[in-house]
Amino acid sequence: MTYPTVVREAARVVAIEAARAYVANIRSIDLTNPSVLVGHLMAAETLLMDIVAAHTEPTDEAEGASR
């Protein structure tokens, strides 16, 4: 499925801003608590997957260029 370029660009901005907001709100981390570390790693992985998805899904311009 392709999405209009404007929609994809908005999704890219939202994904990147979500990651920035998450990082900005991280405070001191207890490095001796594995549960906290795993939680942060899982959240970071999810945010990175969202960023990758937003940049790899095709847009209507990409489809038009391949025709």
| CB-neighbour burial class of residue 29 (10 A; exposed 0-12, middle 13-18, buried 19+) | exposed
0.85 exceeded by the pTM? Answer: no
Residues 6+ apart with CB under 8 A from 22: 43, 44, 47
1-47 pLDDT, tens per residue? 666 788 888 889 999 999 999 999 988 888 899 999 999 999 999 99
